[in-house]
Amino acid sequence: MSEAIAFSRPFFGEAEAEAAAAVVRSGWVVGGPRLAEFEQRLAAFCGVEHAVGVSSWTTGAFLVLHIWGIGPGDEVIVPSLTFIATVNVIRHVGAIPVFAEIDPDTFNIDPADAARRITTRTRVIMPVDQLGLPSDIDAIGGLARRHGLRVLDDAACAFGSRNQGRPVGGLADATVFSLHARKIVTTGEGGMITTDDSSLAERLRRLRHQGMSLSDYARHGQRPTQFESYPEIGYNHRITDIQAAIGLAQLNRLDDILERRRAVAARYQAHLAGHPVLIPPHVPAGLAHNWQSYQVRLREHTGWSRNEMMDRLFEMGIPTRRGVMAAHLEPPYRHEAPSLPLTESTAALTLQLPIHPGITAEQQDRVLRALDRVAAQIASA
C-alpha cells in the first residue's frame, strides 16, 4: 500500500536533531549564543539591521503594536482574509481592526480599498503576505507615508519570498515571521521580528524578557558584575536556544526547501492551467513565491460546494484544507464588520492542496489523478 500523503510536514533531518541535542548538552538553552547567531543570520538574510526572536508571530506582532503605542481608539487596517491571529493581536492591544478587501487573484490586501478605509484614527496598516505571496508593499508603503501611518508586515508565511528581488523582511517599518511547524523555516513554534529601527529592536529585546535592561547574554561573564534593572513592564515572550539551533539548521537548507516547494508548485500550476474545475493561484510578475501553501479556487459554475470537493478528495486519500478564513465572519468580529463580498466568496470557494518539500512525485501524481477524477465526476453529474 502506498504511503499516506501528508498535507504539510516540516523538512527536518539529522542536522536539526543534532543541533537541538548540542544545545541541550551545552546546558545554555535560553537567551544564549544560538539565539544571537540565529538573529544575526536572519537579519543578514533580510538585509536589515535587526532581527529579534520571540515565542510566536502573535507575541511578536503584539509587542510591535504595543511599542508603537497603539491602543484603545486607534484603528489598524487589516485584511479579513487571514488567519485570525493577525486580527486578534490588534484586539490584544485594545485597538480596532478595520477590515479591508483583498484582490481575489492574489489573496492579498487591495491597497485601493485600504486607502478608502483610512480615517483620522488610523495608525497602522497591516498587510499580510498571504500563503507566502508578497503583498503590494510599495503601494501600501506609499499610502502609509502620505498619511503618516506605520506598516507592520504580517510575513508569518513569507520567509524566503521576494518582491522585485528584495527579500520580504526589509520592506516595512517592522516585519514579523512565524516559525510555526507549517512555515518555511520552522522551530516548532516561534517568531522573528525584523526591522531597521534600532530603538524598536532594543525595546523588543527588553519587553520579550520582562522589561530587563540588560540581557542574560550581555551580562554573561562580565567583570565587574553587571546588574540589570527593569525600567518598564515586560512579558515572557522568549524563544529558546534549542529552537534557535533548529532554526539555524533549517536556514542551512533554505535553498533546498524553496527549490523543492517551487518544483511541487510548478507541477500543480502546469497541470491546473485551464483546468475545468479549479483555478490555480496567480503570481504577479516580479514576485517570488515561497509556496508556503498552494491554494486553488473552485470555479463557480460547477454546482459543487468547496466542502463537497474536499470530502471527495478525502475519500480518495488526498488531504486538503479549506482556503484562508474570513476573520470578520467569526463571532468576536462579526458584529463590527462591514460586508466584504470578495473576501467572503474567496473564503467560501478556496481549498489548499498538499505541499511540502518532502512530497514525492508519486504522491503528487496521486493528487493530480484525484483532481482529474473529481473534475470528471463534476462533468458527468
Interacting residues with ligand PLP (CB under 6 A): 56-58, 82-83, 85-86, 128, 154, 156-157, 178, 180, 191
Q: How many CA atoms lie within 13 A of 132 on its CB side?
A: 24
Of residues 82 and 364, the one with the C-beta less far from ligand PLP: 82
In the complex, minimum distance from the CB of residue 55 to ligand PLP, in angstroms, rounded to a whole number: 8
Instruction: State the minimum distance, in angstroms, from the CB of residue 88 to ligand PLP.
Output: 9
Q: How many Cα neighbours within 13 Å face the side chain of 327?
A: 22
- Residues composing the chain: 381
Q: How many Å apart are CA 61 and CA 36, to the nearest integer?
A: 20
39 a catalytic residue? no
Among candidate residues 183, 209, 237, 306, the one labeled active-site is 183
d(CA 63, CA 51): 14
Residues near 52 by beta carbon (within 8 Å), at least 6 away in sequence: 39, 60, 192, 193, 194, 195, 201, 204, 205, 208
Which residue number, 62 or 277, has a Cβ lying nearer to ligand PLP?
62
* Sequence-separated (6 or more) residues with CB below 8 Å from residue 300: 349
Of 157 and 287, nearer to ligand PLP (C-beta) is 157
Nearest distance from C-beta of residue 381 to ligand PLP, angstroms: 34
As measured in angstroms, the least distance from the Cβ of 290 to ligand PLP is: 13
Shortest Cβ distance from residue 158 to ligand PLP (Å)? 9
- Distance CA(275)–CA(378), nearest Å, equals 12
Nearer to ligand PLP, 84 or 218 (CB): 84
d(Cα 47, Cα 209) in Å, to the nearest integer?
25
Q: How far is the C-alpha of 177 from the C-alpha of 61, rounded, in Å?
A: 9
Extract the runs of DSSP E, i.e. beta strands, from 291-338: 294-298, 321-322
For ligand PLP, the closer CB: 16 or 154: 154
Active site residues: 183
